Amino acid sequence: MSRARDSRSAAVPAPRRSRSHDRATGSGAPRGGAPGAGTGGAGEAGAGTGGTGEAGAGTGGRPTPHHAYPDAPRPPALAATAAIALGSAAGLLVLLGQLSGSARVFPGEVVLALVLAAATFAFGFWLFRRIRPVRTPDRFPCAVAALWGLTAATGAAVIANSALRSAWSSVLGLDLATAWGAALTAPFNEELLKLAGVVLVATAFPRALRGPADGFVLGALAGLGFEVTENLLYAVSAIVQSGATAGALSVVQSAVLRVGVTGPGSHWAMTAVAGTALGLLAPVAWRPPPGRAAAATGLVLLAMAMHWLLDAPVFGNTVPVILAKVLVIFTAAMLVYLAARRDHRRRVRAALAAGGAAEGLPRSAALALASRGGRYRELRRSAPGDHAPVRERQRRLLDDAEEAAAISRGAAPS
C-alpha cells in the first residue's frame, strides 16, 4: 500500500519525466521488469507491488513508478525476431516453389488471385486491428503476426500437411484418407503453426500481447495471413481442377466461396481463439496458475475443435451445412471476443478512473477516454490550439491505464 500511496502523492508529470529520462539514458529501471522483480515476470510484478494490481481495481494508485521500459531488447526477443525472419523467409521460399510454375503459365489468373488476396488482407488487417477494445494496437507487431501467417505458417503447413496426409493415406487407405485427411491433419498442424507465430510475436514485442484481447487480435491477424495465402493456393489449384479452360472464373469462384462463404468462420476465428489463450499466459510471464493454464489449454483445444468441425466430412458438404458450421465457429469466436473485450474494458476503465482522479478529472470524463468516440468528443470540445496537449494527455492516461490493466491481469488470480 505504501507504494500506492507514493504513487498517488507523486505529481502526475513527474513519473513521465522520470520515465522519459530512463528511456533516454537507458538507465534507472530494471530492464523490462518491475523493481525488485529480477526476471520481469508479471506474476512477480503483480505480487510484488500489490498496490499496483489494486490500482486497476480503483484504489487510486497509478502504476507509473512500477513499470519501466527496456533500454534494449532482451536476448529472447532478439531470438524470436530472428526466428520470425528466418521462418518467414523459409516459408516464402516454399510458397514461391508452390506457385512459380502456375505464375509462369497462368500469369493473368495468378495476378487476379493476388489482387483478391490483397483486398482480403487489407480489409481484414484494418478490421482486426479496429476491433481491439479501447484503441487500435501498434501496427508493426500486427503486421509481423500477419506476415508469419502469410509466409512461415503456410510454408511450414505445406510441408507438414502433405507429409501427414500422405501418412494417413498409408494407414487408412486412399478413400478414407481423402475424406478425413484434412480433418485429421489441419487442426493440429495448422493451429500449432499459427499459434507459434503469435508466441514469437509476443516474445519479440512483449507490449503487443498484454491480455486476452491482444491475444485475440494478434491471433486473428496471424490467422488472416494464413487464410489469405491459403486462399491464393486454393485459387491457383482451382484453375487446374477446372481443367484450365476458364482460369479467371475459377479464381473468382474460389475466392467467393472461401471469403464469402467460409471466410467468416475460418482461420482468423480459430487462431483468434487460440491467441486469446496466449493472452491469458503472457501477463503472468508464461507461468500460469493451474486454473489459468486449464483455461488457456481449453481455448487452444477449442480452436482445434473449430478447425476440425469445418474440415470434417460430417453432416455432408452441402452449402447449408457448411454455412451452419461457419456460423457455429463464428459464434464461438465472438463469444470469446466479447469476454476478452469486456475484461479489457473493465480493467482499463477502472484504471482510467483512478488515473483521472489523480489528475483531477471528473470520473465521467476519465471513463470517456476508454472509447474512441469519447476521445474524439473531448478533442472536438477543446480549443483548436489545445488539440495537441489534449491528445498527449489522452495518450498518457491511456498508456498508464492499459499498463495498470496489464499489471492487474498479471496479479489477478486465475
Partner 1 sequence: MAPGTDAQRPHAPPHAGGSWWPPGLAVGAVAVLVTAWPLLDRVLPGTEPVRSGHALAVGSSEDVEAELTFRRDGWALRTGTSTAERVYHFSRGPAELTLSTVTPTTAVPPTAPELWRGLDRTLRAGDGSTRLGPPDPTRAEDGTRGLTGTLTSDTESGTAVLYPSPDGRFAVSMTLTGRDATRADLADVDDVLTSITFTREDA
User: Considering only residues 321-360, where is the footprint of partner 1 by CB under 8 A?
Assistant: none
Instruction: Output 166 or 364, the one with its CB closest to partner 1.
Output: 166
Instruction: Output 38 or 298, the one with its CB closest to partner 1.
Output: 38
Q: Is the dihedral of CA 115, 111, 194, 203 positive or negative?
A: negative
- Determine whether 381 is exposed, middle or buried from the number of CB atoms within 10 Å of its CB (0-12, 13-18, 19+): exposed
Binders of partner 1 in range 85-144 (CB under 8 A):
87, 101-102, 104-106, 135-138, 140
Residue 271 sits in the site that holds partner 1 (CB under 8 A):
no
Q: Which of 57, 85, 179, 261 binds partner 1 (CB under 8 A)?
A: 179
DSSP state, 207? G
Q: Which residues contact 171 (CB under 8 A, 6 or more apart)?
A: 177
Taking the alpha carbons at both ends of the chain, their separation in whole angstroms is: 22
Binders of partner 1 in range 210-229 (CB under 8 A):
210
Instruction: Find the shortest distance in angstroms from Cβ 375 to partner 1.
Output: 4
Q: Is the dihedral of CA 302, 306, 308, 313 positive or negative?
A: positive
Binders of partner 1 in range 289-318 (CB under 8 A):
none
Q: Are 144 and 224 within 8 A, CB to CB?
A: no
Binders of partner 1 in range 56-75 (CB under 8 A):
63, 66-70, 73-75
Instruction: Output 108 or 362, the one with its CB closest to partner 1.
Output: 108
Binders of partner 1 in range 154-173 (CB under 8 A):
156, 159-160, 163-167, 169-171, 173
Instruction: Output 134 or 220, the one with its CB closest to partner 1.
Output: 134
Instruction: Find the shortest distance in angstroms from Cβ 82 to partner 1.
Output: 10
Neighbouring C-beta atoms of residue 360, cutoff 10 Å: 9
- As a whole number of angstroms, the distance between CA 185 and CA 356 comes to 51
Neighbouring C-beta atoms of residue 374, cutoff 10 Å: 17
**Cell 480489409 appears where?**
123
Instruction: Find the shortest distance in angstroms from Cβ 327 to partner 1.
Output: 26
Instruction: Output 94 or 324, the one with its CB closest to partner 1.
Output: 94
Q: Which of 57, 92, 143, 286 binds partner 1 (CB under 8 A)?
A: 286
Residue 80 sits in the site that holds partner 1 (CB under 8 A):
yes
Residue 260 sits in the site that holds partner 1 (CB under 8 A):
no
Residue 175 sits in the site that holds partner 1 (CB under 8 A):
yes
Residue 24 sits in the site that holds partner 1 (CB under 8 A):
no
Instruction: Output 55 or 332, the one with its CB closest to partner 1.
Output: 55
Instruction: Find the shortest distance in angstroms from Cβ 325 to partner 1.
Output: 22
For 117-168, give the DSSP string. HHHHHHHHHHHHHHTSSSSPPPHHHHHHHHHIIIIIIHHHHHHHHHHHHHHH
Q: Which of 83, 150, 233, 340 binds partner 1 (CB under 8 A)?
A: 83
**What are the angstrom distances between the C-alpha of 245 and each of 116, 239, 241, 254, 258?**
20, 8, 10, 15, 21
Q: Are 148 and 203 within 8 A, CB to CB?
A: no
